[in-house]
Chains A and B, each alone.
Chain A
Amino acid sequence: MIYQPFSPLEPSAIADFLDFHDSNFTQTALSPAQVQQAAHLSEAIGWPEQRWQVYRSALGVLGFGQWLQDCAPELNVEAALGSISLSQPAAAHWISAACNVRVGDFRLCLLAVGSMPDETVNIPAAALVLPEWSAHFYVLVEVLEEQDQVAVTGFLTYDTYRQQQARQPLPMTADGSYELPLSWFQADPEALLLQLRCLDSAAIALPTAPTLPLPDPAAVRQTLMALQDPFLQPLGHLLSGTEILTLLHTPALLSWAYERAIAPQSSAQPAARPAAAIPSLINVAHWLERQLDEVAATLGWVLLPSPGLAAWRSLRSEFAPIRTALAEQGLDIPTGASGAYRELRWSDGSARLYALTWLLTAQAETAEWTLLIVLERSPHPRSSRLTLTVRDETQPLFEQALDAQGAIYTQVIGEVGERFWVTVAASDNTVFEMPPFGFEINAELGPE
């Protein structure tokens, strides 16, 4: 017998019987392989508290998919974990709801709930406000983790939500979610099945634009940049509700924030770096056409102006010493080169990070490009040590520290398709992470 502590506090043995949990007819068991799959998915999450939520959510998705497979196999279910929000580490890092679950023509958002009865359902505001996160059906999936069982306990359609919200407007909570009354949900899984099978998707209109005014992404980025190593906390501690929405609505920004969030872990375990499914890359191919790519622009990089422009002359005076110093080291920057820079600021100092790029050979298949990184710090009385690190997909390539005023540089060479990650760390625990630099021809600029 498995021993459970016998509590003499139990009022009477009879009352014990009432605390059985009773699932409805949709109760479905998960196989050990499915549980493992859910646990593996959650491994990619950098933040411990969130791992459990994502794990539970993944159990809900797999269980829901199994239930549909058993009772309505003719429905085309893409509940396998590929396309949903849980599979995108940058999103799942903060949002544990499983959005973008596709069943036939419908989009579903699955909300995992536990065995504890509650009068409200917590749902991230993004799932109700942002078009790309919204769903025709919001489905409550009860996850009994201990027994690997899942049941469908209720659902809410988007149009019903809009009607209810209009009648009884709910405020957004501080952490960017809504607490919807359980009574808004219909506790009839058969009705859900009927609609999934027979309803025209046109019956439920989804928003085509965010239903709330959102702050500008650049402003949100500023807010985040002003914070130091903050990202192991829930988003609600860092940003307001609508700022969170902007973050989730802007993939490049989300990706950048995510890279920052996982940076402390990644320095400890470089091999365990999860691949961000949302493509984020600073594509320097654009720079050679005197254009800043979208990702870099979002992150505050400034393109070095072409010679001849007024701006160049002032910048040239700043960059000139660097250029001279490099030339003395035997490194000449060709006239065809292009580049950009960004400012870095932390508690007790500031620096400027330059990235310059040019092609070494121009043949399409074997094109080689180079990236020159220069880190130049401003003078400051009490400044912490600054460390520049560059690595490629598999290993670190360069690491050097800069204590006082001055500059350090490094140059890497890569083929088309290769990527390099650049990190700048200040010894007050500030880490500047950014998406990798790459050279891609005809690649999509960032997500969407």
Chain B
Amino acid sequence: MKNIVSSASQYWQLLRLDATGKPRRQLLPSAQSYFQQQFSNGEDLLEPSDARVQRQLWAEWRSRTTDPPSAPELCLRCYISHQIQQACWQLAQQFGSRNGFEVGELLPYVLEDEGRSRPGRTYQPFGVQVLQTFEPSKGSLAAWTIHHVKQHSEIKQFLLQHGVYLISDWALLNDTNAPQIRRILAQMYQLTPLEIEQSCGMLESFHRVYREERRQQRLTGDKQPCQPPTPDQLRRMVADLQAQGQRVPTPEGLLAQLGAIASQVRRYRIAVRGGFVSTVSLDQPDAPPIADRPIAEPEDAGINEFLSFYQDQFLQCLDVAVAQAVRDRVSELQRKKSAPNALFLDALHRFHCQGQPMGEIAHHIGYGYQSKVTRLLRLNELRTQIRQIALAQLRHQVLDRAKLYVDRDRLQSLDQRVDQILDEQLAGVMEEASAESRVPTNDQPQKSLLARRICQYLDTLATSQ
């Protein structure tokens, strides 16, 4: 049930970003008075459906394209701006916490309409582009807008960098094979065997033509997302279908059919993914490891004995591991050119030595959002690397490895036990001679063993430079 007031005001309040990058509503008086005039009967605002409103506004706008923008045009642009925010908000809701980003990071790419005129400039704000390609016959303006936000190349790039990816229809068809499509069409859509075989045939013809060309394109080093099949490719697919003795559509018909198959596959994918696996938010770096890990066995006395016996070696290995893992991460950052080393090391130091929370670190290093810091540090992964490298180093040093390193389950248990130990804050199982340990500063919380070793390493780095 829509709130009439808020929904109507979407047609005269333009959502845009202020100087600090925060979204703000800007009232456009001309749009407001026009809208209220058109869609009220004197006193009360009527309850027109969005579809009716959009049809009318659109028709009005098309009948007179003026500069500065007409009131109907502004109404539509205001509405679009709200849908853009809606789309970004949904993406952030769905993936932001798991993949480390916030809605504010998405908005700048697409919320760029400032309600101004566009005197023949080549680049139009995204909202204007959406409006220019819209027609009421294509469906709702909301769906149209959200669809185009998803297709926006910078949004896609941003999402991809954060591990989220919208696969194109054509890549999807490339990745779907005949047995899969048969199963999907039979189980989910209950198509007849004849219909299934026809779809299968079209998919296989598509594969034979499209995949080879795509592969050859990659030979040249060109990189681009999968494009819709060209008319020439479609003709060859039709010819292939004919050679297979299948029913033969026109090239345009085949394109439509392939698109329909892609839609069917998408809905299957959505249905299959219905329940989301609960995952750890990257904002909680000390959260327990990945859900898939088997439940820890009850205390394995052999493991505690082992670690106790090799305590000194383990601590040495831990320090080696810290140095190596940090170095490896720095190399990776350099290779991927994702962030300057100094920034990474600074953030790492702030977290482990100064105990600063993510938000504060973000502020200090000039990142707008704490999710960005989380993404930079990837603390869970760093912790895992350190732990594993330490265990691998220890293996080289111990004489009797047979027990723990030759049994996968015991190795796993050893790994889990070490994970617990690294978390320990008090001088406990693994605390070494006090001369080596770092005295925590007064107003900082007691740090875990791992944090202290990382901090010690970073300080050594700093002093050696």
Interface status of A268 (Cβ within 8 A of chain B)? no
Q: Say if the beta carbon of A147 comes within 8 Å of chain B.
A: yes
A118 and B94 form a contact (CB under 8 A): no
The reply to whether B212 and A145 contact each other, CB–CB distance below 8 Å, is: no
Report the separation of the CA atoms of residues A19 and B94 in the bound assembly, to the nearest whole angstrom: 11
Task: Determine whether B427 belongs to the interface, using a CB cutoff of 8 Å to chain A.
Answer: no
Q: Is A443 an interface residue (CB 8 A)?
A: no
Asked if B411 lies at the interface with its beta carbon under 8 angstroms from chain A, I say: yes
The answer on a CB contact under 8 Å between B411 and A199 is yes
- Interface members, chain B 405-430 (any A CB < 8 Å): 405-408, 411-412, 415
Question: Is the C-beta of B285 less than 8 angstroms from some C-beta in chain A?
Answer: no
Contact B328 A32 (CB under 8 A): no
A-B residue pair count with CB separations less than 8 angstroms: 213
A232 at the interface (CB under 8 A from B): no
**Is there an interface contact between B408 and A188, defined as CB atoms closer than 8 Å?**
no
Query: Does B324 lie within 8 Å of A74, measured CB to CB?
Result: yes
Check A52–B165 contact: CB distance below 8 A.
Answer: no
Chain B residues positioned under 8 Å from A379 (CB to CB): none
Given the known interface contacts A14-B90, A146-B167, the answer about A70 and B293 at a Cβ–Cβ threshold of 8 Å is no
Q: Answer yes or no: B389 CB below 8 A from chain A CBs.
A: yes
Binds B, one of A21-29, A81-89, A218-226, A419-427: A21-29
Cross-chain contact of B165 among A10, A147, A191, A200 (Cβ < 8 A): A147
> Smallest CB–CB gap between A59 and chain B, Å?
9
Q: Which B residues between 109 and 140 are near A, CB-CB below 8 angstroms? A: 129, 138-140
Q: Are B144 and A6 in contact (CB under 8 A)?
A: yes
Q: Which residues of the other chain, B, contact A43 by a CB distance below 8 angstroms?
A: 219
Binds B, one of A34-42, A90-98, A296-304: A34-42
Report Cα–Cα, A265/B175, bound state, in Å. 27
What residues on A are CB-neighbors of B407 within 8 Å? Answer: 203
Residues of A in contact (CB 8 Å), total 73
Bits for B371-396, please: 1 = Cβ < 8 Å to A, else 0. Answer: 00000001001001100110110010
Interface segment, A109-117, A251-259, A332-340, A399-407? Answer: A109-117
Contact check, B223 vs A9: say whether CB atoms are below 8 A apart: no
Q: Give A379-436 interface residues, CB cut-off 8 Å to B.
A: none
How far is B391's CA from A199's CA once the two chains are assembled, in angstroms?
A: 10
Nearest CB in chain B: distance from A216 CB, A: 32
Which of B42-50, B59-67, B146-154, B193-201 contacts its partner? B146-154
Please classify how large the interface on chain B is, using the bins under 10, 10 to 19, 20 to 34, 35 or more: 35 or more
Q: Are B388 and A21 in contact (CB under 8 A)?
A: no
**A-contacting 9-mer, from B26-34, B231-239, B260-268:** B260-268
| Contact of A198 with B405 at beta-carbon distance under 8 Å, contacts A5-B228, A16-B150, A188-B290 already known | yes
Q: Which of B163, B172, B263, B401 interacts with A115 by CB under 8 Å?
A: B172
B residues near A (Cβ < 8 Å) are 87, 90-91, 94-95, 98-99, 129, 138-140, 142-144, 146-148, 150-153, 159-160, 163-172, 174-177, 180, 207-208, 211-212, 214-216, 218-221, 223, 225-228, 255, 259-260, 263, 265-267, 269-270, 272-273, 289-290, 292-293, 324, 328, 331-332, 335-336, 378, 381, 384-385, 388-389, 391-392, 395, 401, 405-408, 411-412, 415
The 18 listed contacts between A and B (C-beta, < 8 Å) are A6-B144, A16-B150, A19-B266, A24-B163, A25-B381, A33-B221, A36-B221, A38-B218, A49-B207, A52-B215, A70-B331, A72-B328, A72-B385, A73-B331, A116-B172, A118-B180, A144-B165, A146-B168
Give 7 closest A-B pairs by Cβ, nearest first: A114-B175, A146-B171, A13-B143, A13-B146, A197-B392, A52-B211, A39-B218
Query: Beyond the given A55-B218, A115-B175, A145-B175, could you list 19 further A-B residue pairs with CB under 8 A, ordered by the A residue number?
Result: A13-B146, A14-B90, A17-B91, A20-B164, A22-B165, A25-B381, A48-B212, A52-B207, A52-B211, A52-B212, A114-B175, A144-B171, A145-B174, A146-B167, A146-B225, A195-B408, A198-B395, A199-B406, A203-B405
Residues of A bordering B, CB below 8 Å: 1-25, 27, 29, 32-33, 35-36, 38-40, 42-43, 48-49, 51-52, 55, 70-74, 114-118, 144-149, 157, 186-188, 190-191, 193-195, 197-200, 202-204
